[in-house]
Amino acid sequence: MIDVENLAVDRGSNRILEDYAFHLEAGSVLSVLGANGVGKTTLLASLIGLLKPACGRISIAGRTGFVPQLFEVPFSYSALDIALMGRARHLGLFGAPKRRDYEIVRQNLALLGIEALEKRPFNALSGGQRQLVMIAQALSSECTLLILDEPCAALDYKNQDRVLDLIARLRADHRMTIVFTTHMPLHAVEVASHVLLMKSATDYLFGPVERTLTAENLSDLYDLPIGKAEFAGLDKHTFAPLFGSSGSTFHV
Amino acid sequence: MKRTMILPRQIGAALAPIPLLPLLLFLLVLTILVSVTLGRYDLSVQQVALILADNIVPMSEPTWQPVQEVVVEQVRLPRILAAVLIGFGLAISGAALQGLFRNPLVDPGIIGVTSGAGFGGTLAILLGLSGTFLLGVAFLFGMGSIFLVKLLSTVRGRTSLLTLVLAGVVISAFFSAAISITKLLADPFQKLPAITYWLMGSIASSSYTDVLLISAAVVPASFAVFLLRFQINILSLGEEKARALGARVVLVQWIILIATALVSAGVVATSGIIGWVGLVIPHVARALTGADHGRLLPVSGIIGAIYLLLVDNLARTVTTAEIPLGIITALIGVPVFAVILRRVHSSGGWAND
């Protein structure tokens, strides 16, 4: 689905990424983790095609849909207007959405459980609702690869749970491939099949969640002790940082 | 943006059951008929309607005098048609530019097209050109100023809202200076008064030739802009997002910029500088239709036509001397601009770019 080889990306005169390579099968969920400013958004921008690689190759089989972080529009479009814009690729230069486009968009709104918001002004919706409308927009482009930039940032636990559940459902029921960035390892634990830990422009770890998403790797990634925590009585685990201990030695 | 934009939407929703476009068209026709009756020579709406209907379905025995027909068809109608076309064209270009630059403070005047075309027109008059040549020169300079503004305000492929407006100010200032030089060079007894009065914007002396010239600019430009209605929606999300959605950003931008320059050139060539229409009207229209450009563009156009017709009626009836149109549109437009600027500012409108 996604093949990245020997990738280098520049922003202006700065090299943000160097010598990145990974391969993701269709139907996988990749979670990208890394410190602020390490180049997660740059990586996404090059996957979407907004940034041209300075060197190397990205090949993606299928159509890509993109959901940006917290989105605002300067005019009072309705939620339906915004979701309809996902049909851009299927309409010619002079085209406007027709009945079939409306049907597809309404199906996607229903899939996300936000059909009731259709007529509401987009900018008046809550962050979580806006996120869902943007996902509906991406799905309406009939993409097979969905790329989300911090889909859970600025959402409360309940809404994070909804978005994560949605990602799991899109993968299971619609065989979609999904790439998302996050600052929370626990999101990766819940839904990802693979993780990409970006430590610096040249240093990264890629692999399946079970092998790569470990307390050692995370501690190394964030330069902060991070522990694995088991939920008592459940066969589930999560990761939590040990705040206030930077500099001290710590063993997992 | 939230506070200012939600309320209009609700008004729009309340009006939704009434078909907006037919209603506005009806209002436009009514305004045209009433406008023809205004002036020193008294006429009734009924007479006007009959005289005009006669052109489509000739009547066996006219119930009016020949002089009335001349007043309606030769004196008043060309001017009224000119006002309708200019208002329509300016409002549509304003709406398209606001969407394109995702900026509620943009119109052809603000981004420097009008003064560029104005300079072109002044130059043409100085050189003794008129008609299509005047239009051509105005168009070239209008395009030139758009090109410069775009160049100045685009850094690494991104056009920032604030720099765009500032670049427009800079280019306008430059062309104003250029206009002043042209005036200085003009013959003070014949060409200078002509240039000065023309620059203030007036359609008092419009003929059917002028109307044709304006249509040649406004009709194809409006058509092109309307065809791109959905693309403008997408571009109003921002260039990056539009690219990610698969829109052909650069192509759409250029078609709209060329269409806008064409409208401005057509208006400037026949009627001088008439500003602020493209800024004010789309806001009124957006309050009625919401932001979707498929609905916004036609409604903007028709409201613009009605607005300019009303302004022109004021211009020719308030005093015995003719008030230049551009002065009245500026007197109305500037306070409205100020109010919008305050609202955008108070809701943190510049924060994202």
Cβ neighbours of B233 in A, within 8 Å:
77, 81, 84-85
Rounded Cα gap, residues B181 and A28, in angstroms: 67
Answer yes or no: do A76 and B9 touch at CB < 8 A: yes
The residue with greater pLDDT, A207 or A252, is: A207
* % of chain A at pLDDT higher than 90: 75
Averaged over B337-350, what is the pLDDT?
A: 72
Report pLDDT digits (tens) over B9-39.
444 444 455 689 999 999 999 999 999 999 8
Locate A94 and state its tokens.
Answer: 């002079």
The two structure tokens encoding residue B338: 């100020």
For β-strands A14-24 and A177-182, DSSP reports them as unpaired
Residue of B245, B249, B286 to mutate, testing the A interface (most A Cβ within 10 Å of its Cβ): B245
- Using a CB-CB cut-off of 8 Å, the residues of chain B touching A64 are 244
Q: Between A and B, how many CB-CB pairs are < 8 A?
A: 96
| Burial class of residue B147, CB neighbours in 10 A (0-12, 13-18, 19+) | middle
What are the residues whose beta carbons fall under 8 Å from the beta carbon of B353, sequence distance 6 or more?
A: B160, B161, B162
Tokens of residue A45, six digits: 């921008």
Cβ A65 vs Cβ A86: under 8 Å: yes
Please report where in the chains the tokens 């240093």 appear, as a residue.
A203
Q: Identify which of B264, B283, B161 has the alpha carbon closest to the alpha carbon of residue B214.
A: B264
B285 touches B303 (CB < 8 A): yes
Kindly tell me if the per-residue pLDDT of A208 is higher than 60. yes
Whether the CB-CB separation of A181 and A148 falls below 8 Å is answered with: yes
Mean of all residue pLDDT scores within chain A? 91
Distance CA A198, CA A178 (A): 18
In sequence order, which ranges of A118-196 are alpha helices (DSSP H)? Answer: 127-140, 157-174, 185-191
| Band (B79; pLDDT cuts 50, 70, 90) | very high
pLDDT bracket for residue A135 (50, 70, 90): very high
DSSP B258-274: HHHHHHHHHHHHHH---
Strand pairing category for B154-155 and B158-159 = antiparallel
Q: Does the pLDDT of residue A224 top 70, yes or no?
A: yes
Does B94 touch chain A if contact means CB atoms closer than 8 Å?
A: no
Pick the closest to residue B240 from B351, B352, B107 (CA basis): B352
How far apart (Å, rounded) are the C-alpha atoms in residues A126 and A112?
A: 15
Contact of A169 with A9, CB cutoff 8 Å: no
More confident residue, B112 or B158: B112
Q: Which of A12, A74, A93 sits opposite B231 (nearest CB)?
A: A93
Please give the pLDDT value at position A117: 94
Average of per-residue pLDDT across A35-40: 91
List CB contacts (< 8 A) between A73 and chain B.
Answer: 102, 236-237, 291
Q: What are phi and psi of A145, to 5 degrees?
A: -120, 125
The residue among A71, A75, A122 with the most chain B CBs within 10 A of its CB, best to mutate, is A75
pLDDT(B75) > 60: yes
Residue B3 has pLDDT above 90, yes or no: no
Rounded Cα gap, residues B268 and B119, in angstroms: 9
Question: Between chains, do B1 and A94 touch, taking CB under 8 Å as contact?
Answer: no
CA distance linking residue B300 with residue B89, whole number of Å? 9
The per-residue pLDDT for B12 is 46
pLDDT of residue B319: 85
pLDDT, residue A182, reads 94
Mean per-residue pLDDT, B257-286: 90
Residue B8 pLDDT exceeds 70 = no
pTM of the model: 0.88
* Residue of higher predicted confidence among A2 and B40: A2
Query: What confidence score (pLDDT) does residue B195 get?
Result: 87
Q: Strands A64-67 and A145-148, how do they pair?
A: parallel
Tell me which chain B residue has its CA closest to the CA of residue A138: B245
Q: Tell me what the pLDDT averaged over chain B comes to.
A: 87
Q: How far is CA A207 from the centre of its chain?
A: 17
- Among A93, A96, A124, select the one facing B6 at the smallest CB separation: A124
- Mean pLDDT lowest among A177-181, B21-25, B246-250, B307-311: B246-250
Does B225 touch chain A if contact means CB atoms closer than 8 Å? no
Q: For the purposes of burial, counting CB atoms within 10 Å of the CB of B134, is it exposed (0-12), middle (13-18) or buried (19 or more)?
A: buried
**pLDDT, position B86:** 96
Examine the pLDDT at B247 and tell me if it is beyond 60: yes
Mutate to test the interface with B, among A14, A48, A63, A76 (most CBs of B within 10 A): A76
Do the Cβ atoms of A73 and B236 come within 8 Å?
yes
Q: So what's the pLDDT on residue A184?
A: 92
Contact between residue A189 and residue A213 where contact means Cβ atoms under 8 Å apart: yes
Q: Which residues pair with A59 in a beta bridge?
A: A3
List domains and CATH numbers for chain A: 2-214 (3.40.50.300), 215-252 (no CATH)
Residue B136 has pLDDT above 80, yes or no: yes
